[in-house]
């Protein structure tokens, strides 16, 4: 499993606070499931913060159901991503997940206010969208960082997939 670090332009010399969360790569028929905030126009890979005592794998299952209404089964954890902004270190655990059923969305008031809804879009379209993260550098550091995080995760996912295909051909 790979570990990646993102150093935000606004990071402090050292961090004093941490926040951990999990995110799910869910792909079906060449499309990826993303959380779309209709009010802000932001797109993110489904997931969110871990609750006290929660394991990353349990967090991703809970967060995906809350944000999308889908029940998933994590099949592989493939990436740990650390981000440093101001006094924080954010850690995201990325899982490849498969949909196993339908549950119930349970959005927070903030997610409702932002107009969060799940949407399937072509995987390449998502990669292209997140690859433009630097275009937000002078506008919104949070969006730039979020899009860079998602872009790096999708790049790692694609590299992992290519390497697995090459390994199978060598057998």
Task: Render pLDDT for 114-152 as a digit per residue (tens, 0 to 9).
Answer: 999 999 999 999 999 999 999 998 888 889 889 999 999
29 within domain boundaries: yes
Strand runs labelled E in the chain: 2-7, 17-25, 27-28, 31-37, 43-44, 47-49, 70-85, 88-102, 116-122
pLDDT digits (tens, 9 = 90+) for 68-100: 999 999 999 999 999 999 999 999 999 999 999
Overall number of domains in the chain = 1
pLDDT of residue 139: 86
Residue 163 in this model has a pLDDT that exceeds 70: no
The CATH number that applies at residue 25 is: 3.90.79.10
127 within domain boundaries: no
Q: Which residues contact 66 (CB under 8 A, 6 or more apart)?
A: 48, 105, 106, 107
53 within domain boundaries: yes
169 within domain boundaries: no
- Rg over alpha carbons for the chain, rounded to the nearest Å, is 16
Domain with 98, as residue range(s), is 2-121
Tokens matching residue 56: 């990353």
Q: Which three-class secondary structure state does DSSP give residue 30?
A: coil
153 within domain boundaries: no
142 within domain boundaries: no
HSE value, Cβ hemisphere, 13 Å, CA-based, for 122: 4
Residue 167 in this model has a pLDDT that exceeds 90: no
**CA-based nearest residue to 4, from 91, 88, 126:** 91
DSSP3 helix / strand / coil % (the chain, rounded to 5): 35, 40, 25
Tokens matching residue 166: 């090459």
β-bridge pairing 70-85 and 31-37? unpaired
111 within domain boundaries: yes
78 within domain boundaries: yes
């Amino acid at each position: 499993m790979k570990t990646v670090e993102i150093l935000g332009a606004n990071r402090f010399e050292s961090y004093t606070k941490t926040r951990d969360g999990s995110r799910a790569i869910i792909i079906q028929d060449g499309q990826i499931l993303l959380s779309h905030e209709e009010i802000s126009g932001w797109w993110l890979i489904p997931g969110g913060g871990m609750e006290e005592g929660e394991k990353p794998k349990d967090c991703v299952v809970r967060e995906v159901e809350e944000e999308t209404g889908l029940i998933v089964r994590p099949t592989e954890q493939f990436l740990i991503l650390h981000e440093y902004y101001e006094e924080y270190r954010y850690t995201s655990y990325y899982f490849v997940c498969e949909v196993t059923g339908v549950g119930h969305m349970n959005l927070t008031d903030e997610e409702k206010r932002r107009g969060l809804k799940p949407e399937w879009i072509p995987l390449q379209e998502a990669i292209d969208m997140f690859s433009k993260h630097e275009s937000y550098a002078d506008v919104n550091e949070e969006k730039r960082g979020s899009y860079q995080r998602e872009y790096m995760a999708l790049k790692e996912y694609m590299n992992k997939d290519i390497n697995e295909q090459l390994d199978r051909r060598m057998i």
